[in-house]
Amino acid sequence: MKVQDAKYVMSNSDYQKCPEPVLPEYAFIGRSNVGKSSLINMLTGKKALAKTSQQPGKTQLINHFIINDLWYLVDLPGYGYAKVSKTEREKWEKMIHDYLYNRENLICTFVLVDVRHSALAVDLDFMSALGEAGIPFHIIFTKADKLKPGQVANQVEAYKNKLLELWEEVPPMFVTSAEKNEGSEAILKTIETYNQSFESTK
């Protein structure tokens, strides 16, 4: 799939105010500062579609972008560390939870993980909750350019092994580098396949 057109649609704190759930939708989420905005900009080929920032916790709402007038890309606030108050963080957590668990046209959630880190409890807990709720998700490793290729392969393998200690099978995984523009093709191909299935069930 080639992204011809990517436009910002709206931002909401309530999933019920999001666009009509008539198109397939894909959410992107990860710990603060995992490189989510850079990844979204790489996928869409738009340098400033999602706002990048050195300041963790910049995304604070459910942000909808429409791609090729065919599907929605959703940029969700990060979980885990962010320089916000406990009350604010709890508000975000409820907003994310309500969206992920209730949005009827959400096809898949892409959970972003910094490939330089070994499996962190905050990520594993988040993924386990999705798995238990039957919410489909894939894992995207970001910042692959920060390591040598052999190190990336080792990190991914170690992560896979950690997940297999907890689950019987692991979700699909993608390795990306926004810096080197790597990994977007496989993600977009997966989304295209899901879009075709969505069309055929309508």
- CATH number of the domain that 121 lies in? 3.40.50.300
Whole-number average pLDDT of the chain: 92
Give the residue numbers spanning the domain of 72. 6-201
Answer yes or no: is pLDDT of 14 > 90.
yes
Task: Please tell me which residue, 164 or 55, carries the higher pLDDT value.
Answer: 164
Query: Do 108 and 60 contact (CB within 8 A), yes or no?
Result: no
37: in domain? yes
Answer yes or no: is pLDDT of 184 > 70.
yes
Residue with tokens 């990844």, as numbered in its chain: 39
For residue 90, name the pLDDT band (cuts at 50, 70, 90). Answer: confident
pLDDT at 85: 78
pLDDT at 64: 96
Question: How far is CA 77 from each of CA 59, 111, 172, rounded to the nearest angstrom?
Answer: 5, 12, 22
| pLDDT tens string 114-163 | 999 999 999 999 999 999 999 999 999 999 999 999 999 999 999 999 99
85: in domain? yes
Answer yes or no: is pLDDT of 58 > 60.
no
Answer yes or no: is pLDDT of 95 > 70.
yes
pTM: 0.94
What distance in Å separates the CA atoms of residue 198 and residue 84, rounded to the nearest whole number?
A: 38
25: in domain? yes
pLDDT at 86: 82
1: in domain? no
49: in domain? yes
| Buried/exposed 155-166: b ≥16 CB within 10 Å, e otherwise | bbeebeeebeee
* 3-state SS class at 112: strand
Domain total for the chain?
A: 1
- The kind and range of the H/E element at 62 are strand 62-67
Task: Please tell me which residue, 107 or 50, carries the higher pLDDT value.
Answer: 107
Tokens of 86: 């406990």
pLDDT above 70: percentage of residues in the chain: 94
27: in domain? yes
